[in-house]
Amino acid sequence: AGEFENKDKDGNPYYVSARITPLLDKRQQIDYFIGIQEDISERMRLQKKLEETAITDSLTGTYNRGHFLVLCEQEIKRLHRYGSSVTLLLFDLDHFKNINDTYGHFAGDEVLKSFVSCVSAELRENDVFGRLGGEEFGAMVVETDSSSGLLLAERLRKSVENMVILVENQKITIT
Of 116, 12, 110, the closest CA to residue 61 belongs to 116
73 is catalytic: no
Contact between 107 and 99 under an 8 Å Cβ cutoff? The reply is: yes
Annotated catalytic residue, options 5, 110, 125, 135? 135
Integer Cα distance of 130 and 135 in angstroms = 11
- Catalytic residue numbers read 135
